[in-house]
Amino acid sequence: MRTKIFLIFLMFTAFVSFAQQDAQYTQYMYNTINVNPAYAGSRGAMSIFALHRTQWVGLDGAPVTNVASINTPLNDSNLGLGVTFINDKIGPTNENTISADLSYTIPTSENYKLSFGMKATANLFNLDMTKLNPVDAFPLDPSMQNIKNEFSPNIGAGLYLHSDKAYIGFSIPNFIESNRYDDNEVAIFKEKINYYLMAGYVFDLSSEVKFKPAVLSKMVVGAPLQLDISGNFMFSEKFTIGLAYRWSAALSAMVGFQVSDGMYIGYGYDRETTKLNNYNSGSHEIFLRYEIFKNNDKITTPRFF
């Protein structure tokens, strides 16, 4: 009962006072296309990706996110193409989003390339207000109504400068702010513009060990700055292990394994560093990436990004 009451308070606070943010990922470095369309095709192979994230386990109505995507370079051109589907459930809300990404890449030096990307998105939003009233402590306003399959389009863009060792990117996945309204035209749910800045570099510590520090910052008007700092070690180009810290939010552990030339699996665990830690047992994230290389070729060494 205490958990349900806390969740209802959390949900109403989010709906009335704050901006809705995009779903967050601990292992964003493997899911970059979700936030930056310029990433499409940058790995030089057809990359198929699937992720499941269960956040704040033990807290009723906590976020559950599923992602499926595919991106690939187009023949021998400078173009890349990607498609992503996301299902994001948070308490009474259920969102289905499909995005198409198009990138264009130009060489800027012997080692670096600069990619420009555009994203087109279609979103279906559902809100079931009855899920916010499991107890009598917080009765619903009768004027607040359910929302079913409310459609909203969006567009975004990004830049991605990268080599085999480093990357830096800036993106705005959604330029259009979306408001959800009840019958009295009062906004009860807002999707604000999210700004992303990311960077990472791979250090060769030895012939068998690589280390990659990385940072991702997310800025949203009306919400605190989110900063993710991570460090991953790769051993023998097969096994990856690392830690991450989400500023004033969570500490994370990550592990991954290159099963074959094309298949990579990864797992991440988050533990809250805030008072929310008292209401859940952490967050779990697992993903699978499978890549199809042109003409049975493969990238020389596995990459962190």
Average pLDDT over residues 124-153: 71
- pLDDT at 222 (0 to 100): 76
**pLDDT value at position 87?**
96
What integer is the mean pLDDT of 217-226? 86
pLDDT of residue 1: 42
Q: How far is CA 135 from CA 1, 5, 76, 139, 295, in A?
A: 8, 8, 60, 8, 60
pTM of the model: 0.84
Average pLDDT over residues 267-278: 93
Cα separation, 267 vs 289, in Å, equals 12
262 domain-assigned: yes
Q: Does the structure show a pLDDT above 50 at 208?
A: yes
Give the C-alpha distances (Å, rounded to integers) separating 303 from 78, 173, 211, 239, 298.
20, 24, 11, 12, 12
Residue 66 has pLDDT above 90, yes or no: yes
CATH number at residue 61: 2.40.160.40
pLDDT for the residue 51: 97
Identify the burial level of 35 via C-beta atoms within 10 angstroms of its C-beta, where 0-12 means exposed, 13-18 middle and 19 or more buried: buried
Whether 112 is covered by a domain: the verdict is yes
Residue 301 lies in a domain: no
Q: pLDDT tier at 79 (50, 70, 90 boundaries)? A: very high
Q: How confident is the model at residue 201 (pLDDT cuts 50, 70, 90)?
A: very high
Which among 62, 43, 46, 44 is positioned nearest to 3, based on CA atoms?
A: 62
Cα separation, 287 vs 47, whole angstroms: 13
Pairing of β 263-272 and β 203-204: unpaired
Mean pLDDT, all residues of the chain: 85
Q: Say which amino acid occupies 177.
A: E
pLDDT band at 92 (very low <50, low <70, confident <90, very high): confident
Is residue 302 a part of any domain in this protein?
no
Higher pLDDT pick, 220 / 100: 100
Cβ pair 65, 117 in contact under 8 A: no
| Assigned domain for 269 exists | yes
Within a domain: 263: yes
In a domain, 305, yes or no: no
Nearest 5°: phi and psi at 107? -75, 135
Q: Which domain holds residue 38?
A: 2-296
The arithmetic mean of pLDDT across residues 137-160, rounded, is 77
pLDDT at 144: 60
Q: What average pLDDT does this structure show over 155-177?
A: 95
The residue with greater pLDDT, 179 or 42, is 42
Tell me what pLDDT residue 6 has: 43
Instruction: State the pLDDT at residue 14.
Output: 43
Q: Would 66 be classed as within a structural domain?
A: yes
| Local structure of residue 110 (DSSP, 8 states) | S
pLDDT for res 302: 56
**CB hemisphere CA count around 281 (13 angstroms):** 3
| Total tally of structural domains belonging to the chain | 1
